[in-house]
Amino acid sequence: MIVTMTDAPLARTAAYHILNTGYTSSTGPGVAATVSYVTDGEFHLIVDPGMVASQSNILEPLAALGLSAADITDVILTHHHPDNIVNAGLFGNARMHDHHAIYHGHHWTDRPAEGYEFTASLRLISTPGHSREDITLLAGTSEGIVAFAGDVWWRPDGPADDPITPDREQLALSRKRILAVADVIVPGHGGPFRPTTTTPV
């Protein structure tokens, strides 16, 4: 995998809100996904609408932003593990995006996620390692590039050695690719963090 600065979105007009900060059984009372809302222009995206204590943990913060589930145009599934996708059905009007296709109503459109752009501020890259189908949404915002990385990191401390990775070397390559461009990382089961020299690779 070649890492280049072309991964960075060219514009910085996107904005985001964390709707639910996730946790794992070692850091919380169960397992919950970090669910994010990202917007730029006409696009209203939800990233990883997975397990939460209650669906209200997603819908109420969204309502506080003046939005309903029907307003969401696109849903990003960073990978196919149930804890990150079980509430995708809340957004029945939205286009669903994964590593190889877009799903909308009864339409299935094949396309690689790698390099797919919603706007000049929002693009997808392929970052396998936690699973074979991981993707990351890169958002150009006023605070820099925010990487919605799913479980490439579960939380700021990694884990350094993901116990379920099918390919540890591939995971390290994907982490390095994200670190080369991201100012902020939103992990799959924790709060956003700014990477440092101690961020697990």
pTM for the full predicted model:
0.96
Residues of the chain predicted below pLDDT 50: 1-4
Kind of pairing, strands 117-119 and 122-126?
antiparallel
The structural domains of the chain, ordered by start, are 5-187 (3.60.15.10)
- Cβ-based neighbour number of residue 176 at 10 Å: 12
85-124: pLDDT as tens digits: 999 999 999 999 999 999 999 999 999 999 999 999 999 9
* Count of C-beta atoms within a 10 Å radius of residue 168: 11
- Tokens in use for 170? 């591939």
Q: What is the pLDDT of residue 2?
A: 40
Q: What is the pLDDT of residue 5?
A: 53
